[in-house]
Amino acid sequence: MIAPVPSGAGAPASAAAAPAATPAVDPSIREAAKGFEGIFMSMLVDEMLKGTQVGESNPVYSGLLTQKLGDELARSGGIGLADILEKQLGATPTTQGANT
């Protein structure tokens, strides 16, 4: 088992004392990003279940199963897609135009 690293170990005192400031993001952006990740995860689950007994069963049952499983996977952390979308959608106009 890997032991956790103490919060101040190896870091300068000023970096350990000051938490990183994250810009406030509109809650509707977070909700939309989580919803999109849930849909995407449901599509992945649906593809994984094709050719199995569950995938070949009643289409209503398998559809509900894949939808709920995908939503639960996204809610419990997912694959990080919601975090990336939140950063992209919640970026300020000055940071979006800096690369162009």
- Report if residue 9 sits inside a domain: no
Domain that holds residue 58: 26-90
- Of 44 and 57, the one with more pLDDT: 44
Q: pTM above the 0.85 mark?
A: no
- Report if residue 13 sits inside a domain: no
- Report if residue 11 sits inside a domain: no
Residues 39 and 65: beta-carbon distance below 8 Å: no
Q: Give the other-Cβ count within 10 Å of 6's Cβ.
A: 9
- Report if residue 35 sits inside a domain: yes
- Report if residue 12 sits inside a domain: no
Highest mean pLDDT among 6-10, 51-55, 88-92: 51-55
SS3 33: helix
90 pLDDT above the threshold of 70: yes
Q: How many domains does the chain have?
A: 1
- Report if residue 18 sits inside a domain: no
12 pLDDT above the threshold of 60: no
State the alpha helices, DSSP H only, in 8-92: 13-17, 27-49, 59-75, 81-89
Q: What is the spatial distance between Cα 59 and Cα 25, in angstroms, rounded to a whole number?
A: 38
Residue among 81, 99, 71, 69 at smallest CA distance from 33? 81
- Report if residue 31 sits inside a domain: yes
